[in-house]
Each structure stands twice: as C-alpha cells, then as structure tokens.
C-alpha cells in the first residue's frame, strides 16, 4: 500500500507528465484503493477530477473523504477543504466563461 501511495503522490505532483491522469486512475482503481475507503487517495482523486473538469464528482469525492477522516486529523482535513475551495472556484470560473 505504501508503494502505491508513493506512486500516486509522485503522479499527483508530476503536472505535465504524459498520461498522468490515466495512470492515476489506474492506481486508484486497484486494491487497496478500489474500496474508496482511503481519505488520502480520495483527496488525490478529487484533484484529478477537478483537473479534468469533473467538478460534481470531485465535490462528491471530497465529501466522501471528509466522512472517512478520523477525529483530530487536521492535515488531511485542511487539504480537503483547500481542494473543495479550488474545485468550487474552477467550477464557477468554467461556468462564467462558458458560451451560451
């Protein structure tokens, strides 16, 4: 599991890597992440979803990750709150700039 978390973290940081999103989705679809019970993996998935403009899915994933956090885990909680803010800003910005 630590190796998969390390790979996922490296890809998460590797903006501009070819096929980055597909590789991250591949890791996230494998055990132990397939069960969607790892808050940190869900945080990384939410970032991926925001980057691919899947805002509703990103917000749902953030909510799921927040529910999984144990009490007193402020670091991941703060990351999720920041990701929620970034997702909402990206969503609102996309709506403002969409034709129609």
Domain 2-96: assigned CATH number: 1.25.40
Q: How far apart are CA 40 and CA 68, in angstroms?
A: 10
pLDDT digits over 32-70, tens only?
A: 999 999 999 999 999 999 999 999 999 999 999 999 998
Q: Where are the domains of the chain?
A: 2-96
Provide the token pair at 42.
């869900």
pLDDT of 100 above 60: no
3-state percent breakdown (helix, strand, coil) of the chain, nearest 5: 70, 0, 30
């Amino acid at each position: 599991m630590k190796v998969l978390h390390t790979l996922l973290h490296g890809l998460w940081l590797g903006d501009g890597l070819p096929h980055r999103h597909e590789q991250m989705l591949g890791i996230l679809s494998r055990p132990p992440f397939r069960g969607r019970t790892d808050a940190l993996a869900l945080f990384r998935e939410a970032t991926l979803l925001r980057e691919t403009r899947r805002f509703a899915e990103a917000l749902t994933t953030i909510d799921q990750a927040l529910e999984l956090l144990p009490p007193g885990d402020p670091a991941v909680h703060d990351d999720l709150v920041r990701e929620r803010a970034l997702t909402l800003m990206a969503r609102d910005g996309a709506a403002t700039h969409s034709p129609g």
